[in-house]
Structure 1
Amino acid sequence: MDLSTLEFTKLVELKSEVENEIKRREVEEKAKAKKQIIELARAYGLSVEEVLSKTVVARKPVEAKYRHPENTELTWTGRGRKPAWVQAWVDGGKSLEQLAI
C-alpha cells in the first residue's frame, strides 16, 4: 500500500482503524499470555500466588575483618568507608594490618 497516494482524511481514518485494531489485539494477546502462564504454573504444581510472590533470600552477614584493640565492640568488615575509629588509627601512624582479626 502506497500511503503517499492517499488523501489526508483517508490517512486519518486509516490511523484510527490501525489504533483500534492494535488495542483489540493487545487485549487478545494478553489473554493468551495469561492463559499460558496459568497452564505453565499448573504444570509445575504452582499456584498463581506462588508465582507472583516475592522470594527474599536472607544474606549471611559479612564477617568483620578488623577490630579495635581496646574496644572489641568496634569492628569493621573492610567494606565501604572506613569508620572514624579506623581512620583515626591510620592517621595516628599505625597500620591497618594491626587491626586485622
Structure 2
Amino acid sequence: MFTKSDLKEMSRKELERLLSDVKKALQAARNRDQREARKAATKAAAEFGFSLGEISETKPSAPAKKKPKVKNPSKPMYANPDDKKQTWTGKGRQPNWFRSQVESGTAPDAMRI
C-alpha cells in the first residue's frame, strides 16, 4: 500500500505507470465481478427451473433514430397592404407593420388574405 509520502516521491512516469496498472486492475476486478454475478444469477434462475436467458429481459436493439418532426408551416392570414410580400400567420407576436397599420386605423379584417 502506498502512502502519500510514497506518491509524492514518485516521478511522473512512475505515477503514470501506476495509474495504468490501477486502471487495468479495476477492469479485471469488474470483469471478475460480472462473471460471479452471472454465475449467481444463473444458479438462482435454475432453482426456479429457468435458464438465465428465459428470465432476463432482452436488450433492445440500438434505439431507432427518431425522425425529425416536419413542421408544416402555417399559412399566412394577413398581408401588409403596402408590401404584399410581408405576411403574418396571425400566430405569435404581431409584426411591426401589422401593429402600425392597426394603429393608423386599418382594420385587421382589411388585411386578411
TM-score (norm 2): 0.47
> How many residues are matched?
61
1:52 partner SS? coil
> Which one has a larger percent helix, Structure 1 or Structure 2?
1
Specify every segment of 5 or more residues in structure 2 that has no aligned partner in the other structure, as ranges.
1-36, 42-55
Show the 5 A alignment for 1:7-86: 32-33=56-57, 35=58, 37-38=59-60, 48-49=61-62, 51-86=63-98
**Greater Rg over alpha carbons, structure:** 2
For 1:93 and 1:72, how far apart are their aligned partners in 2?
18
Q: How far apart are 1:52 and its partner, in Å?
A: 3.5
Mapped partners of 2:76, 2:110: distance in 1: 14
Question: How large is the Cα RMSD of the aligned pairs?
Answer: 2.3
State the distance in 2 between where 1:94 and 1:67 align: 12
Q: Sequence identity of aligned pairs in percent?
A: 25
Show structure 1 runs of 4+ deviating over 2 A: none
Q: Which structure 1 segments of 5+ residues have no match?
A: 1-23, 39-47
Equivalence for 2:106: 94
